[in-house]
Amino acid sequence: MNILHVYPKIPEETFWSLKKALNFVGKKAALPPLPLLTVAGILREIKPDWNQKLVDLNVEKLPEADLEWADQVFVSAMIIQEKSVREVIDRCQKHDNVKVVAGGPLFTSQESETEGIDHFILGEAEITLPLFIQDLVAGKAKHRYETDQKPDLSQTPPPEWSLLAPKFKQYSAMSVQYSRGCPHKCEFCDIRVMFGQKPRVKEISQFIHELDLLYDAGYRGSVFVVDDNFIGNKSKVKRLLPPLKDWLSQRNYPFKFMTEASIVLASDHELMEAMSEANFYKVFLGLETPSKDALKECNKGQNVNVDLVEAVHQIQAHGMMVMSGHIVGFDTDDESIFERQIEFIQRIGVAMAMVGLLAVLPKTDLEKRLREEKRLLLKTTGENSNTLTFIPKMDKDVLINGYYQLLNTIYAPREYYKRIDVFLKEYRPTVKRQLSLGDWSNIRALLLGSVRIGFSLHGYYYWRLLLKTLVTKPAAFTEAVELAICGVHFRSVTRRIVSSS
């Protein structure tokens, strides 16, 4: 049996793609398709004699010869990849012998709306995929496999890195997973819906083994621990970090880690210190809004009784650059929210602050409430920067125009570089890097940045940043260059969003 794993394209002109920033470092995509690599690992254990290939449309094209070779095409996708998914399905349907097998958030949430799929593998693949393979071999595969059960992650096999190893240099980071689930109950979030409220974790030896396999495959550099809330089970994480630190030290720190967490991190100095010592250098936080009323409205209680500005500064003082998510469009928001968000974002000093309109994800508490209130308009596309899918309490035009003004302000060079200054003032670099003569990405970023940004209309801000960083905090020079080139991407996306109105 020939299995072709295809990962659909993510739209380039979104804040999250970082496409224009990746061009500076010679990369094509931020992260590899970990879900498909994990599925390939499960298949390897069940059917080691089956042939497998991987095509990631974010870094390469899908050859016609691969479709002719394949018996089954496995597709995993998020909602924002729906357009590319449709194109992949259409191409598969031109080959009579090719069956399409689909899983992931897009299909789990919108299965009835996706035509051209032969088999749906919904829920977590550790449970549903073996059932499908068993029936497929017996010649009685069903159209749909679904479960609400949450598998024990200690039984999850490692990703099949052999499918990706030749393409490592196409990505700015690799991905691994330690846990699934989140203890919080944010109204707009679908993580609890998909993975449960009780975080499940892998065994320490299991997680370290996955890193061993990635290391042995030849990768060195950034690794994104993709957990939606890495510290959801703090006691387990605290037990993981010391062995992880030892593993890194024994290998001269081949990896540096990024992850996602809740603001709860800032209240635990022991945990922040342990993460810093285990070479965590970036963390994404869902800050959402400075409005206490809006935080209570969306049931984000963990953020309510916290000085969010001080919390961010505490985390950055422990060597972890904060990236943050922000939302406008809550029912309790009024016209003052745009200036309040601007002031808040500038004070926290987070350059990579991603601001979106409130998005209504399928099967969330927010969707249920808005449906009951008869305020739903459209299904979500996964893009939260140019489309309202519900009737807001604020006047729609006021909300959209205020949002555009917010984006134009925070990504304007002056305000953007001011945030970098605040960040550098609070930041205490602790990351340990393994030097590699074969990795020219940082040098390339500096050279291209000096030409493309340094000689642009806002080159003054760029040169001032580099000189100031060299004098006051040279250990953070790499981060300063990175943030400068990310600003190019954010301004490009902002122009696209605003011009599309």
> What contacts 12, CB < 8 A, 6 or more positions away?
19
Q: Do 41 and 118 fall into the same domain?
A: yes
> What contacts 139, CB < 8 A, 6 or more positions away?
none
Q: Do 379 and 305 fall into the same domain?
A: yes
Helix (H, G, I), strand (E, B) or coil at 85: helix
Q: Do 273 and 352 fall into the same domain?
A: yes
| pLDDT, tens digit, 9 for 90 and up, residues 421-441 | 999 999 999 999 865 544 678
CA separation for the pair 464, 458 (Å, rounded):
10
Which CATH number goes with the domain that contains 46?
3.40.50.10350
Number of Cβ within 10 Å of residue 501's Cβ equals 10
> What contacts 470, CB < 8 A, 6 or more positions away?
477
Examine the fold and report which residue of 367, 391, 426 is the final residue of a domain before the chain moves on: 426
Total-model pTM: 0.95
Q: Is 365 a member of any domain?
A: yes
Measured CA to CA in angstroms, residue 63 lies from 35, 57, 91, 118, 238 at distances of: 21, 10, 11, 21, 45
| pLDDT, tens digit, 9 for 90 and up, residues 443-462 | 899 999 999 999 999 999 99
Q: Do 396 and 476 fall into the same domain?
A: no
Q: Do 314 and 394 fall into the same domain?
A: yes
Tally the domains of the chain. 3
Structure tokens given for 213:
């396999």
Average pLDDT over residues 20-35: 95
* Structural domain span for residue 450: 441-499
pLDDT value, residue 14: 87
The letter for the amino acid at 462 is Y
Q: Do 136 and 178 fall into the same domain?
A: no
Q: Do 257 and 319 fall into the same domain?
A: yes
Q: Is 132 a member of any domain?
A: yes
Q: Do 44 and 68 fall into the same domain?
A: yes
CA separation for the pair 17, 31 (Å, rounded):
9
**Is residue 163 a contact partner of residue 52, using CB atoms and an 8 Å limit?**
yes
Q: Do 482 and 450 fall into the same domain?
A: yes
Q: Do 409 and 446 fall into the same domain?
A: no
SS (H, E, C) 260-300: EECHHHHHCHHHHHHHHHCCEEEEEEEEECCCHHHHHHCCC
Q: Do 352 and 294 fall into the same domain?
A: yes
pLDDT value, residue 379: 79
pLDDT value, residue 437: 44
pLDDT value, residue 13: 82
Q: Is 152 a member of any domain?
A: no
Q: Is 56 a member of any domain?
A: yes
